């Protein structure tokens, strides 16, 4: 591993955050950053010694902000806050998301506005580098005053409490420390508050959503194009002239991708003069629908990148004489785009389900239910029940969590973002759409087989061949759940998109036009 990332200096991106969390990129503290961290820590020590009243340093928290804490109790205050705020419930969040939380917190603390000790940052980095990941419950954050509950659980192991993933098992922190020969750290004034005030829970779910939704959007174009081939639709709605007079960048990109994938297709050529005037919207309007979701994804990417490089704890320490108790911990700037992206992801599943339904109707020369002997065989009737169920489940998840606010902290925190729920819901919807697209791929591959011996273009032929390497043509009923599971894997693990991109490169086809993978997500 030759590449390094300099915490507090380099620009953190979605791919870099994921790479550090996975161990593919190493994050380090440079002498410059160490100096900034130590200076900030010194400011806090001066505040304590001079008895200057600063929120969270020598006062209580939330509605207890007017309660003064003695100098000798300032360390106990930080220990207590991690314990009292560890009130999360539910299943643990994915280990990868917890590790991204560690990465994003280090990067924020390393900017030198939080008053954290160098030893604290070094211990968090030790957890990252050694893949000793704290166990964090999924529920309990209201997304303002920071993600208090999940971040408290994330940092309990620093003081010897809580649980961690250790060598593949969930282990008590105390047992892990004994095995590793390390001791709990002692938090200094403000450190506990600096650790748990922040948006790293919301942010880390956003990071994963950016990565996963990008893959989903790429796959949706590919699978949609294959469905269009199976349904013998037309490529005319993807003419660039049409999209140049309504120039949304997402629409133009999707239209270009679809047109490119359908070039050199014998199936397309075979029905040029078929007399069909126009296709249903789920085929014809893919640039407009998929493109709108790409616009929402781009908005989420832009704001996530800003948040990745922001300081979101409170108070912010500029000097011993200059501290600001503000609201950078409030999750609203991320909650809104996460809710927007949730609708965008759900719409990809919605239009995919419509294409599935069209393929089993027995239209355009396809056999009803995509099987020759329908009656004795139910064929592909029932997988569309699953897409319908998932589409409706997604609709119930599209209510924007950010539209709600329940006052907390005895009214001190009287408006909260609920962005933690927004981030979790978006990833739930993405998971459902991955299954919907897998079922559409199952249908599309079956439909294209009924067009043989005609072939599609080189990109879609490669996609079809790869699909058939996982799931065979069905000439009678079988347990289609097994097929769905196999195709879900290649949608989810990005390999379907990679196959399409490799085929495009091999045949010198510019699949993304001017929008080549500038985001480094593949």
Beta strands in 18-149 (DSSP E): 26-28, 89-92, 133-134, 137-139
CB crowding 290-321: b at 16 or more within 10 Å, else e:
bbbbbbbbbebbebbbebbebbbbbbbbeebe
Let me know if 385 is a catalytic residue.
no
Going by C-alpha positions, the residue among 325, 269, 310 that lies closest to residue 59 is 325
Secondary structure letter of residue 161 according to DSSP: -
H-assigned helices in 245-398:
249-262, 266-270, 281-284, 286-308, 332-360, 383-397
The span from the CA of 313 to the CA of 278, in Å, is 55
| From 55, 113, 166, 443, active-site residue | 55
Token pair listed for 199: 């948006």
CA distances from 373 to 245, 367, 444 (A): 47, 9, 18
Instruction: Identify whether the C-beta of residue 187 lies closer than 8 Å to the C-beta of residue 78.
Output: yes
Q: Which among 372, 348, 349, 368 has a CA at the least distance from the CA of 359?
A: 368
Q: Which residues are catalytic?
A: 55
């Amino acid at each position: 591993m030759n590449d390094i990332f300099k915490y507090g200096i380099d620009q953190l991106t979605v791919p870099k955050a994921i790479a550090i969390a996975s161990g593919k990129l190493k994050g380090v503290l440079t002498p410059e950053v160490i100096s900034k961290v130590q200076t900030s820590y010194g400011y806090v020590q001066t505040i304590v010694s001079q008895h200057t009243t600063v929120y969270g340093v020598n006062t209580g928290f939330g509605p207890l902000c007017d309660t003064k804490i003695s100098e000798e109790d300032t360390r106990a205050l930080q220990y207590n806050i991690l314990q009292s705020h560890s009130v999360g419930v539910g299943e643990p969040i994915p280990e990868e998301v917890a590790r991204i939380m560690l990465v994003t917190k280090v990067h924020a603390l390393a900017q030198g506005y939080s008053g954290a000790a160098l030893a604290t940052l070094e211990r968090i980095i030790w957890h990252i580098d050694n893949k000793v990941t704290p166990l964090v419950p999924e529920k309990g954050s209201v997304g303002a005053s920071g993600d208090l509950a999940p971040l408290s659980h994330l940092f309990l192991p620093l003081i010897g409490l809580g649980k961690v993933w250790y060598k593949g098992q969930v282990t008590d922190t105390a047992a892990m420390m004994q095995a590793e020969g390390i001791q709990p750290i002692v938090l200094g004034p403000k450190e506990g508050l600096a650790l748990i005030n922040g948006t790293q829970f919301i942010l880390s779910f956003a990071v994963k959503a950016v990565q996963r939704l990008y893959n989903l959007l790429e796959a949706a174009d590919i699978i949609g194009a294959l469905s269009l081939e199976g349904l013998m639709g037309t490529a005319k709605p993807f003419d660039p002239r049409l999209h140049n007079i309504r120039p949304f960048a997402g629409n133009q990109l999707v239209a270009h991708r679809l047109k490119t994938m359908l070039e050199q297709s014998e199936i397309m050529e075979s029905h040029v003069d078929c007399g069909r005037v126009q296709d249903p919207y789920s085929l014809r309007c893919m640039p407009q629908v998929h493109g709108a979701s790409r616009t929402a994804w781009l908005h989420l990417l832009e704001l996530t990148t800003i948040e990745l490089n922001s300081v979101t704890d409170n108070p912010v320490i500029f000097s011993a004489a200059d501290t600001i108790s503000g609201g950078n911990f409030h999750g609203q700037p991320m909650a809104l785009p996460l809710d927007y992206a949730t609708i965008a992801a759900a719409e990809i599943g919605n239009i995919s389900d419509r294409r599935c339904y069209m393929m089993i109707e027995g239209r355009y020369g396809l056999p009803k239910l995509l099987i020759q002997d329908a009656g004795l065989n139910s064929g592909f009737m029932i997988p569309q029940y699953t897409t319908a169920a998932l589409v409706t489940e997604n609709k119930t998840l599209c209510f924007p969590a950010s539209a709600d606010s329940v006052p907390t902290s005895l009214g001190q925190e009287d408006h909260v973002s609920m962005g933690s729920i927004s981030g979790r819901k978006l990833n739930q919807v993405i998971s459902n759409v991955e299954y919907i697209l897998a079922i559409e791929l199952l249908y599309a591959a079956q439909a294209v087989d009924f067009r043989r011996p005609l072939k599609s273009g080189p990109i879609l032929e490669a996609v079809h061949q790869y699909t058939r390497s996982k799931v065979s043509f069905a000439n009678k009923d079988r347990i289609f759940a097994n097929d769905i599971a196999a195709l879900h894997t290649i949608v989810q693990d990005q390999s379907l998109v990679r196959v399409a991109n490799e085929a495009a490169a091999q045949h010198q086809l510019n699949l993304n036009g001017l929008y080549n993978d500038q985001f480094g997500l593949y």
